[in-house]
Structure formats: C-alpha cells, structure tokens
Structure 1
Amino acid sequence: MTAPTPTRRGAARHSELFDALVALLLAEGFAHLTLDDVAGRLRCSKRTLYALAGSKEQLVRAAVVHFFERATTHVEAAVAAEREPTRRLEAYLRAVAAELAPASPRFMDDLAAFPPAADVYARNTRAAAGRVGELIAEGVAAGAFRDDVPTAFAAEVITSTMVAVQQRRVAGATGLGDAEAYDALATLLLHGLTRDLTSPASPASPPA
C-alpha cells in the first residue's frame, strides 16, 4: 500500500478540523466564541486556525460552506438509494431534516444574524428548492404524482416554505426548528392533512 503523501495528510487534517469546527458551531453557535475559544475547544493553535481562514468571520463562513457541502453529498446519496419517485422526494426532504438536526437554535439564530453565513444558507436553500422542483417534475412524468396541480405552482409553494424556514420565520411563528420544519414539510407534501382511515391507530368505525 502506498503511504499517504504530505498533501493527502494535510487535506485529511484540514477536513478533520473543519468537521470538528462544524460540530462545535452547530452545538454552541458562534457569535459568542473568540478564536482563542475555538482553538482551545479544538485543541489546536490559533496559527492552525489562521491557516484555514484569515479571521473568525472567514472561518465561520468557511465552516458553514463545509457543512452545506457535506450535507449536500449525504442528501444526494439518500436520493440515489431510491428509485420510486415518491420515495426519492421523501428521501430528499427527510435527509435535509436529518442534516439540519444537529444544529442548535443558537447556531441557527447566529447564522441568520451573520450576513456572510446567512447568504451561504440562502444560496443552498435556493439550490435545494430547485432540486425539489426537479424531483416533483420527475414524479409527474413517471405518473407517480398527480398532474392536475401545475409543477411550477407546487415548486413555488415549497420554495416559499423553504425560504421561510431559512429566514427563521417558520421558527418564529411555530416554534419548530429547521429540521423539524423540513420533516413536517415532507409529511404535508406527501401525505397531506387527511387522516389515514385505514391506519390501526384510527378510531374504529361505529357499527351500522
């Protein structure tokens, strides 16, 4: 087996540090943390952090970019594992919820209040909305989704909801975290509000 080159080792260490940084920020937020705090928690030097980014602000933005790039990879892997259009759309939304689940309310509030990072989230939300539109169109073409609701309208409704989640308006109005909101969106989109009367949990019909 060929030994890793210094470049590979450096890239691996770079990725490990970003993973650790992302985990820290997701759990605790970042507005209150100094570079000294971050270096101490990650058990590295400030010089190491400066090798990743030139300032705390740049470091936070880079960590948020890393988070969404990693999340996108995981979400697309979940979609690729499914073949049926309905399950692919559900897999997408549930996977987005799973990726956002570790994010604490403090992190999401800090993210919304820090424009460089909020812009990264907004761009990823727009990309996600576009991907959902593609999955809906795929389902309509395959006959898995009803075609009496225009695809563009469905995509616009979903996009508006996703943007409202990203802008913290859903959290403010409902108390739901972003991950919970995406999970609820998946349920509403695929199952609506109608109770499944065939479910064992449903009340039994009265005798005739």
Structure 2
Amino acid sequence: MARPTFATRRRTELFDSLVALLLAEGFAHLTLDDIAARLRCSKSTLYTLAGSKEQLVQAATVHFFRSATEFVEAQVAEASGARARIAAYLSAVGTALDPASDQFMVDLNAFAPARAVYERNTSAAAGRVQELIAEGVVAGDFRDVHAAFAADLVATVMVRIQQRAVRENTGLDDADAYRELAAILTGGIEA
C-alpha cells in the first residue's frame, strides 16, 4: 500500500483540525481569518482546501461524516450477532456525534449545504439499519418483522434527531438519542 504524500497527510491533518474546531465551536460566527489563525495556517492554505468559507464548511462536514462512517462500520465489524450489530451501529453513530457541540448542530441545521450532507448520511444510515434488520430476520435473531417498516421507523426517528426535534422535545442530544434508539430498537425486535 502506498504511503500518503506529505501534502496528502498535511491536508488530512488540516481537515481533522478544522473538523475538531467546527465541532467544538460551530462555524457561523467564524471568519476565514479566524479559522486560519486557529489552525495556525494562512488563508491561502485554506483556499487550497476550498474556494470559500461555505465550501470549506461543506467539505469539513463531508470529511467528518466520512470519518464517522468508517468508525461506525469498524464497530459493526467487531460485533457478533444481529442484535449486537444494530446496537453497535446506532451506538457508534451516537459516539461519533459526541464531539458535536450544540452550536455546531445549530449551525449545521441553519446552513443548507452542510444540512444536506447530514441528511444524506441519515438516509444512508437508515438504509444500513434496514440491511442489518433484514440480516437478523434471515438469521432468526429477530422475529419476522417487516425490515423496510422497521427501517422506515428508524429513519423517521433519525430525521427527527437530525432536525433537532428530539432535542427540543426530550432534551437528549443527538448522541444520546442514537443510543436510546439502539436500546429501544434492539429490545423490540428480538426473536
């Protein structure tokens, strides 16, 4: 396997630092000058990552969700059995969202391009849960539930989590809401 070049490593490090900054503080209030100062780089360096602050935020959001997906799938790969795999999946989504501050989530929801990235990932996650449920039904780990219906139910809750409705109605942040969803879902479909 080829080793990443210095430029590729530096770019990844910058994106990782950018993601950490945005997750911790949000992004609506930050200027490119602020971001460059906080990341200890020049604005021209930031422009090598994206052409504007908006494009930078969108690219960082994509980077965050790509990394989160890799983490989540690694957790699923370590789990054995359908119930454990679904619990691992949803719990890992919660863990991946732990670093996201309330301000980041507010800013994400208010910025359409970043919100669209979250929505695409939520949709993909719902599809993945449907696959895991269907595998569990076939394996006899789950009662014969309609996998598409169960996944649609999960997708509805996931969208409500993403849209901040669960937070507003229950006080649960996104990470805790995903963990609760995992507990309810896996307990409700056991064989």
Separation in 2, partners of 1:146, 1:139: 8
More helix per residue:
2
Give the superposed CA RMSD: 1.3
Tell me, which stretches of 5 or more residues in structure 2 are unaligned? none
Separation in 2, partners of 1:191, 1:137: 16
**Percentage identity across paired residues of the two chains:** 63
Name the structure 2 match of 1:177. Answer: 173
SS in 1 for 2:143: coil
Name the structure 2 match of 1:204. Answer: none
1:142 partnered with 2:147? no
Separation in 1, partners of 2:148, 2:34: 47
Q: Could you tell me the TM-score, scaled by structure 2's length?
A: 0.95
Deviates more, 1:117-126 or 1:78-87: 78-87
Q: 1:106 aligns with which of 96, 100, 103?
A: 103
Report the alpha carbon displacement of residue 188 of structure 1 after superposing the two structures with TM: 1.1
1:95 partnered with 2:92? yes
1:180 maps to amino acid: D
Name the structure 1 match of 2:154. Answer: 158
Name the structure 2 match of 1:123. Answer: 120
Q: Could you tell me the TM-score, scaled by structure 1's length?
A: 0.87
Which is greater in Rg? 1
Runs of 4+ in structure 1 off by over 2 angstroms are: none
Q: 1:11 aligns with which of 4, 8, 12?
A: 8
1:62 partnered with 2:37? no
Higher relative contact order (CA 8 A, sep 6+): 2
Tell me, which stretches of 5 or more residues in structure 1 are unaligned? 193-208
Report the alpha carbon displacement of residue 83 of structure 1 after superposing the two structures with TM: 2.5
